[in-house]
């Protein structure tokens, strides 16, 4: 019963931690959206840009300030850089959406479908840009996170190979001992 009680207590702490982080970021995000809508008469896209930008910053800060247990500080910052870059790309995508929609609407036979065509075009471009930027951040490896992971993988492979080689060497040594023992004058005579 004590073991079950400890497990529940550990899970409960994680649940409260996750709830508080999500609640705070959601609350701040919605508060900013409401303030913008109340005090400034802007278009929906500008509100969405600001909201997405703030939301990615909050996610990045949360990751840096409260990284998961199995993640180092360097890894958290590396992943936060990707989140911030993705937020920036979403903001640029929203800006691009306005321009593309006007261009598509200016084509007579596409005008009725301008919103759908724009969503497909801009969504695709945004997804491709996010993938490329994430790839570039990983390739640049500013904090050496990828290099550290590669080194860990190589070392674990070498450790595994050393263990297997050691077992084979011990087996060969035992075989040699048996052969030497059988071929020495001190060995018992077999009948």
Domain boundaries along the sequence of the chain: 2-143, 144-191
Chain center to CA of 22: 18
Interatomic CA distance for residues 118 and 116, integer angstroms: 5
pLDDT of residue 41: 42
pTM to 2 decimals? 0.62
Cβ atoms < 10 Å from Cβ of 190: 5
* Cα(190)–Cα(182) distance, integer angstroms: 9
Task: Compute the Cα dihedral for 142, 144, 147, 149 and give only its sign.
Answer: negative
* Cα(149)–Cα(155) distance, integer angstroms: 10
3-state helix, strand, coil in the chain (%, to 5): 85, 0, 15
How confident is the prediction along the chain (191 residues), in pLDDT tens digits per residue?
566 666 666 666 666 666 666 667 777 776 676 666 555 544 677 777 878 888 888 889 998 999 988 899 999 999 999 999 999 999 899 888 878 888 888 888 888 888 899 889 999 999 999 999 999 999 999 999 999 999 999 998 888 888 889 999 999 999 998 888 887 766 555 54
- 3-class DSSP assignment, residue 31: helix
């Amino acid at each position: 019963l004590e073991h079950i009680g400890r497990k529940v207590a550990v899970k409960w702490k994680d649940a409260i931690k996750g709830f508080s982080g999500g609640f705070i970021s959601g609350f701040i995000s919605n508060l900013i959206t409401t303030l913008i809508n109340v005090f400034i008469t802007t278009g929906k896209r500008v509100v969405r840009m600001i909201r997405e930008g703030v939301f990615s910053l909050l996610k990045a800060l949360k990751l840096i300030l409260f990284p998961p247990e199995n993640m180092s500080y360097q890894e958290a910052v590396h992943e936060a850089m990707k989140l911030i870059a993705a937020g920036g790309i979403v903001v640029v995508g929203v800006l691009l959406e306005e321009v593309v929609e006007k261009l598509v609407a200016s084509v007579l036979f596409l005008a009725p479908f301008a919103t759908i065509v724009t969503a497909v075009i801009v969504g695709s471009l945004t997804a491709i840009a996010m993938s490329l930027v994430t790839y570039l951040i990983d390739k640049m490896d500013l904090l050496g996170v990828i290099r550290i992971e590669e080194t860990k993988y190589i070392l674990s492979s070498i450790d595994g190979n050393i263990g297997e080689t050691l077992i084979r060497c011990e087996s060969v040594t035992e075989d040699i001992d048996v052969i030497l023992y059988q071929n020495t004058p001190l060995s018992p005579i077999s009948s």
